[in-house]
């Protein structure tokens, strides 16, 4: 939050309108992504509010994917977390009837693919794992 405050202060103190525009775009992307996660969780029968709490949202992503909740602990291990993020993302895509390519899209381009999944016509088909 300190970074956001300093960016806003810079924009208001002559740092430029470009900085303000970039901050607004950044906030818009974050809000869109959170809304996408919220609706995705709701479609899967999980609480939507879990999307806004950092570690809790990973736990519920594991549940949507059909993976055990203790996998959250593995997300704290460097390198291992990257592998498990791809596995969870692919399983989430499969849980909504999408393919492996869509799961890789979730893993690499989360702000684009999660809102597509959340706001799109994809229905939750149950845990894939």
Residue 124: inside a domain, yes or no? no
Residues 6+ apart with CB under 8 A from 51: 34, 37, 38, 40, 41, 57, 60
Residue 126: inside a domain, yes or no? no
Q: pTM for this one? A: 0.80
Residue 125: inside a domain, yes or no? no
Residue 95: inside a domain, yes or no? yes
Residue 44: inside a domain, yes or no? yes
**Does the structure show a pLDDT above 60 at 11?**
no
List pLDDT tens digits, range 22-69.
Answer: 999 999 999 999 999 999 999 999 999 999 999 999 999 999 999 998
Residue 115: inside a domain, yes or no? yes
Percent of the chain scored above 90 by pLDDT?
74
Mean per-residue pLDDT of the chain: 88
pLDDT at 18: 86
**Does the structure show a pLDDT above 60 at 8?**
no
DSSP conformation letters of the chain: -HHHHHHHHHIIIII-HHHHHHHHHHHHHHHHHHHHHHHHHHHTTS-GGGGGSHHHHHHHHHHHHT--TTHHHHTTSTTHHHHHHHHHHHHHHHHTT--HHHHHHHHH-HHHHHHHHHHSS--------
Residue 58 burial (CB count, 10 A): 22
Number of domains in the chain: 1
Residue 106: inside a domain, yes or no? yes
Which residue in 129, 106, 126 sits closest to 118, CA to CA?
Answer: 106
For 105, the domain range is: 2-119
Report the distance separating Cα 56 and Cα 63, nearest Å.
11
In this prediction, residues 98-102 reach a mean pLDDT of: 93
Residue 127: inside a domain, yes or no? no
């Amino acid at each position: 939050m300190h970074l956001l405050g300093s960016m806003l202060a810079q924009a208001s103190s002559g740092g430029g309108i470009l900085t303000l525009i970039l901050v607004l775009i950044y906030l818009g992307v974050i809000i869109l992504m959170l809304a996408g996660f919220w609706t995705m969780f709701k479609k899967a029968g999980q609480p939507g509010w879990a999307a806004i709490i950092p570690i809790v949202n990973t736990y519920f992503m594991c549940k949507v994917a059909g993976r055990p909740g203790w996998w959250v602990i593995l997300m704290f291990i460097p390198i291992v977390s990257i592998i498990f993020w791809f596995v969870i993302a692919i399983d989430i895509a499969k849980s909504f009837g999408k393919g492996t390519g869509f799961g890789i899209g979730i893993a690499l381009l989360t702000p684009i693919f999660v809102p597509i999944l959340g706001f799109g016509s994809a229905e939750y088909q149950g845990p894939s794992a």
